[in-house]
Structure 1
């Protein structure tokens, strides 16, 4: 399958491509599609796409991509997979976008990746860490962007084994592919001791108004470590509830919910202090990076193109880095903006370092390796900001 696909690409590259061979591309524009949660239980993540739009505005103001302006068509799917499917079909069949970029969330991307692969539409840098989105053999038109959920869970399991080998563990997780995949990674990291150490798990639905009852149940297990696998709203609720009921375990929080602005501060400074998470993006609130060139550039970008954006939110840094990665691919593609060449370029990033990534984190992809971000570092919240510790995993 791989050889046949590459062979077909090679034949198509042998001759100049007509405009009809480049859906979503004209002499003056490149249409890129997106769905995200501007409303619903994950609406805090809508700031990612707003940041991406702002960065594309900057690129367009500076001349675009080889003279073409990026037209970013972004629809609200409310973090509801059926709505994601509907909006994505509109993007492909009505708006005729070149590619779909940064669809938010594992459930949403899972709902559309077979459709996009069947239509041979690039699904670029999905805002998810599901393993399925780094599988070129089965889904050659799909790239994830985040570190895989399983790998992140494995990091937490290894940390627990190393630092709290006698602990008992309770886990809150979102009841979907995202939550289950992080939980599976945690079990992998704990290895043979997983069944012994994990004494309680509780799931929640994104439609649940609170996770208070789940946190009370987990506390009653007597666990000394609490692993919080949740998106922003539920994660903040869980942190706050644990504090209210005087449960004081070692807490580990998955990276999708470690925003200071969206989670840690709403949960409360005292409740959040000491929580451990993992990162690959520079925290804008960390003074360590104040003089870093990319942080200065990001601040200037925010001031000019997204003045209403939250400079304390890591989500704006994330959106900025992801948008840079797409622009890099489009620039590499040159005037051949066929879908086939865009995928080819996405699979040909060499030691690329988007701004706002932690030192040592870079992007290298190949036709056999669709992993984009593959490193993370642990960090601890001091009540005001995150402090990194240890080495890159």
Structure 2
């Protein structure tokens, strides 16, 4: 065999070994907005996920192999999220994807998942479009946005609020949350007194203010992500539109509160994870966090922690040498899984995950209170 042929063979073997090692290390991919509008919440959710994965890896991982999360930054851009998903699946050889963020982003990723038959565990979005009809390769962990919005409207109407406005981002996420708000208000025989939408990439609230002021809402639900919602709350407060402000759980992070600064107190944020130590999930996460010198587990951290538990259980049930197919099959037939007081139940006809939804309010000191 000639020298060039030997060199080619060595390179081919090295590439094959690298691909094998990628799977041996249980490499999981993630595309998410490490920078951009949702960066603060992403940081916390991944801190929570890593908290549990570090705990599992310290005990030998799964089947003697450690779990590695390979994260690519999509800056909360839909096209980049789809491109990153292709890179992770087609070039990096990941077993599955984990905790994407954003409804249109996850919708775009789904086409890649179905093409390559790769599972996505715990997308950090509660869009109904990812639940019904069932997306074969998407395994939701958190409750839906519609469930959250309905819960928020039920609270407002129960305390006598009759005039609610909805301000939402102009995409599938915003439309989904708006539908949940309409459902919740309809149960009390009401409709939103005003509905306004803003651009996701270049939010501008000034043109929305006159119509919102004219509607004289008592409360405003703002459906959007991170910095856009912060800007919206500041604009509405400055224009004296509404007295109570609400947003959804995609903003349930300490980072979001910090961005709001002196405007944070009194803002209601829906939650898809419990806060009480009576839940085994909360107690476990809190104990592991304290062992690492972290004093408080935020709602965003807990969502990441719960999603990591589902990922690990899927890997454990996928066999000695997990493949994309065996991991998908394990998740598809997972059945009932108790995460610590919260139970999800996957089957081929149901990938919904949890149904827990609650409300919190930002209190003095910048902390969520139930």
- Normalised to the residue count of structure 2, the TM-score between the two structures is 0.83
Q: Provide the C-alpha distance between the structure 1 equivalents of 2:237 and 2:345, rounded to a whole number of angstroms.
A: 41
Provide closer, same or farther for how the CA distance between residues 292 and 199 of structure 1 changes in structure 2, counting only shifts above 3 A.
Answer: closer
Q: Is the contact between residue 334 and residue 347 of structure 2 (CA under 8 Å) also seen in structure 1?
A: yes
Aligned residue in 1 for 2:107: 110
Choose from 354, 377, 392 the match for 2:339: 354
In structure 2, what is the equivalent of residue 366 of structure 1?
A: 347
**In structure 2, which of residues 79, 94, 97 is the aligned counterpart of residue 97 of structure 1?**
94
Match of 1:83 among 80, 85, 92: 80
Q: Structure 2 CA distance, aligned partners of 1:144 and 1:295? A: 19
Q: Conserved in 2, the CA contact under 8 Å of 1:235 and 1:263?
A: no
From 178, 183, 189, the equivalent of 1:188 is 183
1:340 aligns with 2:325: yes
Higher relative contact order (CA 8 A, sep 6+): 2
State the distance in 2 between where 1:69 and 1:112 align. Answer: 26
How far residue 116 of structure 1 moved from its aligned partner, in angstroms, is 1.0
SS of match in other structure, 1:228: strand
1:37 and 2:22 matched: no
Residues 7-26 of structure 1 deviation map (CA, whole Å, 9 limit, x = unaligned): xxxxxxxxxxxxx9xx8776
Partner of 1:4: none
d(CA) in 1 for partners of 2:118 and 2:24?
Answer: 21
Q: 1:156 is matched with which residue?
A: 152
**Secondary structure in structure 2 of the residue aligned to 1:378:** strand
CA distance in 2, matches of 1:310, 1:179: 34
TM-score (norm 1): 0.78
**In 1, Cα distance between equivalents of 2:210 and 2:288:** 43
Query: Per-residue CA shift, 1:13-63, capped at 9, x if unaligned?
Result: xxxxxxx9xx87768421111001011222223312344345433322220
1:140-179 equivalence runs, <5 A: 140-164=136-160, 167-179=162-174
Q: Give the Cα–Cα distance (whole angstroms) in 1 for the partners of residues 200 and 150 of structure 2.
A: 24
Which of 279, 288, 292 is matched with 2:271 structurally? 279
Query: For 2:315, which of 326, 330, 335 is the aligned residue?
Result: 330
Distance 1:162 1:293 in 2: 30
Deviation at 1:253, TM superposition (A): 1.9
Corresponding residue to 1:301 among 288, 294, 302: 288
Does residue 62 (structure 1) correspond to residue 59 (structure 2)? The answer is yes
For residue 296 of structure 1, report the CA deviation from its aligned partner.
5.3
Change (3 A) 1:383 1:214: farther
In the alignment, the residues of structure 2 paired with residue 386 and residue 50 of structure 1 have an alpha-carbon distance, to the nearest angstrom, of: 18
Cα deviation for residue 374 of structure 1 reads: 1.2
CA RMSD of aligned residues (A): 3.0
State yes or no: 1:375 paired with 2:356. Answer: yes
Gaps spanning 5+ residues in structure 1: where?
A: 1-19, 389-393
Instruction: For residue 136 of structure 1, report the CA deviation from its aligned partner.
Output: 6.3
Determine the structure 2 residue equivalent to 1:13: none
Q: Secondary structure at the residue paired with 2:67?
A: strand
> Cα–Cα, structure 1 residues 293 and 129, in superposed 2: closer, same or farther, change >3 Å?
closer
Structure 2 unaligned segments of length 5 or more: list them.
1-15
Change (3 A) 1:215 1:54: farther
Question: Matched residues in 2 for 1:277 and 1:50: separation?
Answer: 20
**C-alpha distance in structure 2 between counterparts of 1:106 and 1:86, whole Å:** 16
Residue 328 of structure 1: how far off its partner (Å): 1.5
Contact 1:125 1:144 in 2 (8 A): yes
**Structure 2 vs 1, CA of residues 374 and 294 (structure 1 numbering), >3 Å: closer, same or farther?**
closer
CA distance in 1 between counterparts of 2:110 and 2:202 reads 26
Cα deviation for residue 73 of structure 1 reads 1.0
Relative to structure 1, the CA distance from residue 120 to residue 27 in structure 2 (aligned partners, 3 Å threshold; closer, same or farther) is closer
Q: Secondary structure of 2:125's partner?
A: coil
For the structure 1 residues 249 and 367, does the alpha-carbon distance in structure 2 shift closer, same or farther, using more than 3 Å as the test?
same
Corresponding residue pairs, total:
351
